[in-house]
Structure formats: structure tokens, C-alpha cells
Amino acid sequence: MKSPSAEGRSGGGRSRRLLVLRHAKSAWPEGVPDRDRPLGPRGLRDAPAVGRFLAGAGGPPDLVLCSPARRARGTWELAAAELGRAVPTRHDPRLYGADGPELLDVLHGVSDEVGTLLLVGHNPGLEDLVLLLASGAADADEDLLDRVRTKFPTSAVAVLTWSGAWADLRPGDALLTDLAIPRGGRDSS
């Protein structure tokens, strides 16, 4: 069930956009700790395609919150190079290993000056967050939600919208408007 309208809460009815990006495909080098895993060949090709998607899908975000894991940072660096302008970026350790409710808590701390936020991180937390925010929303696109439930692959970008303050965002408040999986070339893996 949809939570009460955000229009009457602090932050007014300002339109918000949340872009949820799972890092690009990583490598699994032997002996390398999980946090230090780099992007693999496919990830190195796909990450710039993510940037091109972001540039054409409403333009760059106002702020990026990125996991400090090497593969997430690398994804954002390659994507950001395609945007044509610098975007304020914070590497937030809370994003590494977080579940959906923990990620929602992170979103509650975002300034209301931010209209569009890009969150760069990991599954299963990102998938959980998208489903938490968009499941049960009025006018939910069940086909898009089913695609997220089936698989939220590397380099996937979920686009969610709603009106209100970040601090007031609740489960079911957002509308999932797009699920893109930008790819940068052929790869058999």
C-alpha cells in the first residue's frame, strides 16, 4: 500500500529522481579481498556505456553516493568520464554490504538540495532497495518490478521518481520508471 503523499511533508512536492546503479562486472583475482576486486574486461566496456545512458536519461545527477569498493569506484569513474562535467561524489562505507532498509536510511540523510541522486553499489542490497521503494506504489509497473525481481545484473540502472523530501522517503513511495542495462560491446562471459 502506498504511504501518505509526500506533498504535504517537509521538502514540499519537489520532484526527486533516484538512479540505482549496480557496479559493472568485476574480476575475481585469486587472493584479492572482496572490497579490492577490480572491474573485469566486460565491466571496463560496460561502465562507459552506463555514463552514456545517464547523460541521455535526464542528464547527470546532482550527487553520487558510491560504495568504497574498488569495482564500484571504478564503475563510477568510467561512467562519469562520459558525462561532460564533474559531479560531486561521496564514497560512503555504509553502502558496502548494506541491505535495502540500511540503504533507505542512507537516503534519509541526503540534502533536499539534491534533486537527482545516483547510488552506486552492490547486490543484493540495491535490488532490495528498488523493490522496497517501488513495490506497492500506486501505478506501479509490475513488468518492470518483475524484471528487477528476476535479475538486477551488473551495470543495471533502475530509475525511480517521487515527490517529497529525502528524509521522508518510505517504502512504496517511489515509481520505478525504467530499468536499463547498458552494455559496451560483445562479450561471451
pLDDT tens, 145-164?
Answer: 999 999 999 999 999 999 99
139 contacts 175 by C-beta, under 8 angstroms: yes
| pLDDT score at 107 | 99
Q: What's the whole-number mean pLDDT along residues 117-140?
A: 95
Distances 115 to 60, 139, 165, 180 between C-alpha atoms, Å: 11, 22, 9, 20
Looking at the chain, the number of H-run helices and the number of E-run strands are: 5, 6
Per DSSP, the three-state class of 89 is strand
* Domains and their CATH numbers in the chain: 12-180 (3.40.50.1240)
| pLDDT score at 136 | 85
Q: What's the whole-number mean pLDDT along residues 135-144?
A: 87
| pLDDT score at 7 | 36
| CA 168/CA 152 separation, integer angstroms | 26
| CA 115/CA 84 separation, integer angstroms | 19
**For residue 92, which amino acid is it?**
D
| pLDDT score at 33 | 96
* 186 confidence band (pLDDT: 50, 70, 90): low
Distances 25 to 17, 43, 89, 175, 177 between C-alpha atoms, Å: 25, 4, 21, 27, 24
22 contacts 121 by C-beta, under 8 angstroms: yes
Q: Which of 4-13, 55-64, 89-98, 163-172 has the lowest mean pLDDT?
A: 4-13
Rama region for 156: left / alpha / beta (φ>0; ψ in -120 to 50; rest): beta
Backbone dihedral angles phi then psi of residue 179, each to the nearest 5 degrees: -135, 110
| pLDDT score at 12 | 60
Per-residue model confidence as pLDDT tens digits over 10-56: 456 799 999 999 999 999 999 999 999 999 999 999 999 999 999 99
